[in-house]
Amino acid sequence: MKKSDDYIVSFDNEDLILVDASDNKIGTMSKFDCHQDGGRLHRAFSVFLFNARGELLIQQRSASKRLWPLFWSNSCCSHPRQGENLMEAVTRRLHDELGISVSNLQYVYKFSYAVMYKDIGSENELCSVYMGSVDQKININNNEIADFKFINLKDLPKLLKRGNVCTPWFIMEWEQLKSKHKKLLESFL
């Protein structure tokens, strides 16, 4: 497994975009503050990438993550920065975390969720979900990712049901993809 240069791409003091339930920008707040207590609703994105064998790329979050460290999650997830549209943010983050670029990303849906992590903090996101294909060598950034693998979709339900090993948004998003976006999902398999 080739590792990238371990440069910092995420900061507690970076401003996240606060939004209302309709995704209208209502301000900004530091990433740290957005994730305190019950959290403040902010814009985010998640990406699901599949290889030519129809396997899903999943990542294990770095041990240094404040929320859900060492949990398995979808291919990539993060937040857009001020002045970035979502596709620019997704493209930037795929490069920063995985060392790749993806040409066939497709927006799938948007949803809102809020979930606490122990007594440490929470997520409260309006999250846009994307799917795409990956056919490049993965070059992870160790500051963001502890490990990665491609998982067969027949084995994925076992992993998701193990409890306390997968991020809650990964579980929620996968359920939506397979139940409400099955045709689009199948086009990547």
Which pLDDT score is estimated for 1? 40
Per mean pLDDT, which range of 3-12, 71-80, 89-98, 171-180 is the poorest? 3-12
pTM of the model: 0.93
**Does the pLDDT of residue 11 top 60, yes or no?**
no
pLDDT in tens, 95-149: 999 999 999 999 999 999 999 999 999 999 999 999 999 999 999 999 999 999 9
6 close to 142: Cβ distance less than 8 angstroms: yes
Fold for 15-187, please state it.
Answer: Nucleoside Triphosphate Pyrophosphohydrolase (3.90.79)
Sign of CA dihedral 174, 175, 176, 177: positive
Of 138, 172, 121, 166, nearest to 3 by C-alpha is: 138
Of 180, 7, 14, nearest to 89 by C-alpha is: 14
Mean pLDDT, the chain, whole residue set: 92
Residue 125, token pair as written in the block: 């996101």
Element (H, E) at 33: helix 31-34
Q: How far is CA 54 from the centre of its chain?
A: 19
Which pLDDT score is estimated for 9? 61
87 close to 105: Cβ distance less than 8 angstroms: yes
3-class secondary structure per residue, 22-47 = CCCEEEEEEHHHHCCCCCCCEEEEEE
More confident residue, 82 or 173: 173
Catalytic positions are 77, 125
pLDDT in tens, 32-68: 999 998 899 999 999 999 999 999 999 999 999 999 9
Residue 96, token pair as written in the block: 């920063």
159 close to 150: Cβ distance less than 8 angstroms: no
* In the block, residue with structure tokens 């995704």: 23
